[in-house]
Structure 1
Amino acid sequence: MLTDRATPLLVRPDDDPLADPDWQEPEPPAEKLSWLRLGFLILVVAGVGIGGTAAVMHWRDNAGALAKSWAVPYVDVTLTPTFEFQDPTLNPANDVALAFVVADKTDGCAPSWGGAYTPDEASASLELDRRISQLRAAGGNIMLSVGGLTNSELAVACTDQARLTDAYRQLVKRYDLATLDLDIEGTALADQGSLTRRAAALKTLQAERTAAGSSLAVWLTVPVSPEGLTADGVAAVRATLEGGVALRGVNVMTMDYGSAKGSNPDMLELTTSALNATHKQLSDLYLRLGVQLTSSEVWSRIGATPMIGQNDVDAERFTVQDAAGLATFAVDKGLGRVSMWSLNRDSRCKNTFTNVVVHSNTCSGVDQTALEFSKVFAGLPGTSVGSSGRESVEIPDQNATVDDPATSPYPVWRLTALYVGGYKVVWHGVVYQAKWANQGADPTADDVSGTPNPWSVVGPVSTSEIAPTPTPAVSGVTAEWNPALGYKRGDRVVFGGLPYEARWITKNEPPSTEYPIGPEEPWAPLFTVPGEPVTG
């Protein structure tokens, strides 16, 4: 988890475990990398060592494939001593994610840096505005991170929609942001009211930026486990998308997996497992929302943020070798971004703390040279996002989607119908298939660990598809159903051009045309419908 600190800390874990998860991604740079910074990056990349150099060569070989991963490490702005992110000799990265903006402690609708500085106070006391300008003059840029585990995120503290929107607007305007990162964790992740307010505010700001001829890319940063996003995490992503936000991507905090993973967990393996699981979840979620993305398009919408070095869990240490492995994974998959928590920690702990478990926000707690993690990730080939219209997709309004049985390629899902495994249906413009027998389970529900949805998503309905055509299984049935006649078990009739057989004595009960036809109906279908599983 990411947290911001106002003072330096170097303690044993039982005194004050570090939780610095407020990673946020920087906005896209407005200029090319300056010759000064470019020259410096070449030097520092060359100094990464054998593993780092090999990884950089690999990235160059793959530079033209998939998305180019964007390296954007977090900086804890209010931490003492101040990290001079604008100085290329102290920061190999071109872009940085500045963390965290939270709600003011006395006015929940006013933004503050870490609850300690108003934007004006941060400018005066921390020279923040001046340092941002210096970074940009050298070809870099910032992304602003809002939220984190410590303090209250603006949408949680501020229930006034207009003031909340204006608070975000102040940040976008003051810092001329092209990218905004929302770090949502802890209790805020399940706060439905804040999710709705936040989405409404971001939707408004994106519309304003578009009208002004600019853009605002939005990333959502959430916790993750080796099994993927939590149920609340999936729900938060969904609420953001359904709220009309053009979401650039989902950044997952690949850290603090838990002591249950063993006394010496493989952090790279756990991280790649978490990312692969997130990829599957997001692919499925977008499909449920009526958008079919390719595998590479989904990867480009995923970010990873490890806590470098010692994590909050004693046994978990993310090493420089793990970082090189993640960088290679990022390029192979086309990951949208790679961040880290944090630049403030990218150095070895000194003196008596060098060989023991150290939870600190000013050093990593593992064996490394200064800025070694930063140098590994600085070799990633991508740049900041926000310039391409392909980066965001429009989510169809499911409430406005009316499934027409006359044009849907499979039967429209019904709440009361009993479905067998393998049955296909259409619901809100998307095709689903039953994984097992079920009744009353909404296909659009999120499929997350612990609450499995019996429906797997197949993909959205295309405009060229037509209504299903049932296929009769018998011939020779010609008698039309007549409401005035009584029928006994085994009698056969034609209704709507299709054959049926009476299950029991019946009169004035027309055969059903709502598929699937349940066992409680008096007439059994003597035909098959597209979408029904093939039986022996």
Structure 2
Amino acid sequence: MAAAPRPSILWRDGRRLSPFRALIALLLTSGLGVFGYTHVTDWVATQAETQEEPWFAAYVDVTATPTFAFENVDAQTAQDIVLSFIVADRDDPCLPTWGTAYTMDEASQALDLDRRLARFSQAGADFTVSFGGLLNDELATVCTDHDELVAAYGSVVDRYDLTTIDLDVEGINLSDREAGERRAAAIAELQQQRRASGDELAVWMTLPVIPSGMTEDGTTAVQQMIEAGVDLAGVNVMTMNYGQARDTGESMAEASIRALQSTHRQLGVIYQIAEIELSDATLWRKVGATPMIGQNDVFEEIFTLEDAYELNAFAIDTTIGRMGMWSLNRDVPCGPNYVDLRRVSDACSGIPQGEARFSDILAEGFTGRIDSVAGFVTTPEPRDPAEYIDDPETSPYPIWNAEFAYLAGTKVVWHRNVYEAKWWTRGELPDNPVLNEWETPWVLVGPVLDGEKPMQIPTLPYGTYPEWEGTAVYDRGARVLFDDTAYEAKWWTQGDSPAAHAADPDSSPWVPVRLDEIEEILRDLETGELIHEGSGTITDSTNNDSP
């Protein structure tokens, strides 16, 4: 049984035209002449400028019980949805099914799915389809014939006239590297076929994440796609179920924001490795977030309405490309008959939410639609090499030097960015493209700002510590002043000048006193908590035994 056609779509040579193309065709064939054509091209240019508007679409579980009437949802912000999940049939691995329960034809009959989608489209809403999920086999995991796999994906795209697809890859579907190669090759061919025929096909990957970023399996899956030639619209991370990866006291919103920042950094590295240079703004447009509203699968984790407001504010501020949630089915309180709230429900959130809806909160400010960005093509954005040149006169911290050693907490400038050392390091590039935070001793603080000047390191008053003397003996921990800079001995020393630290910090017995310590000493001297008595003596004013 053929899928019900979407309304308001023209047909040409047996293919459907999107509303955008349909309007262009009508205008260009209506005899408007040069004047009309000029206005049309101006309108097209305007659309091109706005086609990257971020969009919101909540997931809808097609086969969940009770059946969710997505076609009746009247909240304006919940217009677009992501239907889940298309997976492999248990007996025929290359046959797409809805959750192994229905083929597409069976879903049309048993669930009236095609008719409901036609009604949904009549209301001006749009949808995409998600392949995979956690519980069943994603097509590429079990369908090993390339041509059959391409045809399987293509049959879903054609059946539902999709401009965008979502690949929700997790569990065994994600850890199977061979399946990842098959998936990437098939999706690359399908996307190339669609684009060659003048159709659009945006590809999103939905992957698990923890606050420190995507897993190794996740970053590998993204790399497989890019290496196969897939033009990824973006990576949507499941900001949920963090377990022990979430810091004590950290809210779900805070953990999710960390996860998005880490994913953004990882995507930048992946594209850098692929020699595709993209701006930070473009990379943010390739990031999506999907929290699990209310009670998560991890009992201690609850994504509250307050978390939704905070995550939405961050997403709007950074202009991520996509926001979602799991799931629209669950966007209501559970009611008095649902007793065990520790058991996650498919039909309610598990927390009190009154008349408020997560979909309204998370969607606020997301004005785009699914199909409005489907035609976007990733284009490299090489930076001017001059932007990478560091100028000592405009750098707030010293410029990184491969010969120098840096202690934890030391800040440097490299390629117009400020980095801070997490532990002792020497010779390791601050912007070395590593996928995981623990692989680098540096953390990016942020860019060098316009108008910045070298930071003036505060000096301690004369006599705070003894002046260094070449004949004096210093034990480990002893402090001296040398050229107005405070140094501390790392081991017993005599005759070794602190000046040698700059040239050879590893061999020098001296290390500069940390800036935060100097600032604390100066504050305490100013407030009188410490008393400077000269001759290198500082005493605690609160420890005075005099009568």
270, 273, 286: which one pairs with 1:301?
286
Distance 1:190 1:112 in 2: 22
Distance 2:269 2:261 in 1: 13
Distance 1:181 1:375 in 2: 22
Query: Residues 126 and 385 (structure 1 numbering): CA distance in 2 closer, same or farther, change over 3 Å?
Result: closer
Question: By how many angstroms is 1:82 displaced?
Answer: 1.1
* Structure 2 residue 213 is the aligned partner of structure 1 residue 225: no
* Higher share in helix: 2
* Structure 2 residue 258 is the aligned partner of structure 1 residue 273: yes
Aligned to 1:204: 189
Aligned to 1:114: 99
Aligned to 1:141: 126
359, 366, 391: which one pairs with 2:344?
359
Distance 1:353 1:389 in 2: 40
Distance 1:88 1:144 in 2: 18
Aligned to 1:15: none
In the alignment of these two chains, the number of paired residues is 370
- 1:313-324 matches, within 5 Å, as 313-324=298-309
- The superposition leaves residues 82-136 of structure 1 with CA deviations (integer Å, 9 ceiling, x where unpaired) of 1111113378511100000000010111100001100000000001111111111
Aligned to 2:10: none
- Give the conservation status (yes or no) of the 8 Å contact 1:74–1:96: yes
Query: Residues 358 and 29 (structure 1 numbering): CA distance in 2 closer, same or farther, change over 3 Å?
Result: farther
Does the residue aligned with 1:224 lie in a helix, a strand or coil?
A: strand
Distance 1:248 1:378 in 2: 19
Question: By how many angstroms is 1:173 displaced?
Answer: 0.5
Distance 2:159 2:205 in 1: 21
Does the residue aligned with 1:202 lie in a helix, a strand or coil?
A: helix
Query: Residues 185 and 453 (structure 1 numbering): CA distance in 2 closer, same or farther, change over 3 Å?
Result: farther
Distance 1:144 1:252 in 2: 16
Does the residue aligned with 2:299 lie in a helix, a strand or coil?
A: coil
Distance 2:266 2:279 in 1: 13
Does the residue aligned with 2:149 lie in a helix, a strand or coil?
A: helix
**Paired letter, 2:82:** A
TM-score (structure 2 length as normaliser): 0.61
Aligned to 2:227: 242
Question: By how many angstroms is 1:452 displaced?
Answer: 5.3
Aligned to 2:71: 86
139, 150, 164: which one pairs with 2:149?
164
* Structure 2 residue 325 is the aligned partner of structure 1 residue 340: yes
Question: By how many angstroms is 1:362 displaced?
Answer: 1.0
- Give the conservation status (yes or no) of the 8 Å contact 1:217–1:247: yes
Query: Residues 389 and 96 (structure 1 numbering): CA distance in 2 closer, same or farther, change over 3 Å?
Result: closer
- Give the conservation status (yes or no) of the 8 Å contact 1:103–1:111: yes
**Paired letter, 1:252:** V
Distance 1:65 1:138 in 2: 22
Aligned to 2:454: none
Aligned to 1:75: 60
**Paired letter, 2:57:** V
Does the residue aligned with 2:78 lie in a helix, a strand or coil?
A: coil
- The superposition leaves residues 371-408 of structure 1 with CA deviations (integer Å, 9 ceiling, x where unpaired) of 61112134333323455588442689xxxxxxxxxxxx
Taking only aligned residues, the RMSD between alpha carbons, in angstroms, comes to 3.6
368, 375, 378: which one pairs with 1:393?
378
- Give the conservation status (yes or no) of the 8 Å contact 1:69–1:337: yes
- 1:1-16 matches, within 5 Å, as none
> Which segment drifts farther, 238-247 or 289-298?
289-298
> Which segment drifts farther, 140-149 or 378-387?
378-387
- The superposition leaves residues 53-75 of structure 1 with CA deviations (integer Å, 9 ceiling, x where unpaired) of xxxxxxxxxxx999643110000
Question: What runs of 5+ residues in structure 1 fail to find an aligned partner?
Answer: 1-27, 33-63, 397-408, 410-418, 423-430, 457-533
Does the residue aligned with 1:203 lie in a helix, a strand or coil?
A: helix
**Paired letter, 1:447:** L
Question: What runs of 5+ residues in structure 2 fail to find an aligned partner?
Answer: 1-16, 22-48, 382-388, 390-400, 405-414, 416-420, 445-501, 505-547
- The superposition leaves residues 213-272 of structure 1 with CA deviations (integer Å, 9 ceiling, x where unpaired) of 111000000000011111111111111111100100000000000046467641111110
Aligned to 2:179: 194
Does the residue aligned with 2:71 lie in a helix, a strand or coil?
A: coil
Aligned to 1:182: 167
Does the residue aligned with 1:348 lie in a helix, a strand or coil?
A: coil
Question: By how many angstroms is 1:330 displaced?
Answer: 1.2
Question: By how many angstroms is 1:148 displaced?
Answer: 0.6
- Give the conservation status (yes or no) of the 8 Å contact 2:53–2:372: no
Query: Residues 121 and 324 (structure 1 numbering): CA distance in 2 closer, same or farther, change over 3 Å?
Result: same
* Structure 2 residue 108 is the aligned partner of structure 1 residue 123: yes
- Give the conservation status (yes or no) of the 8 Å contact 1:445–1:453: no
**Paired letter, 2:236:** N
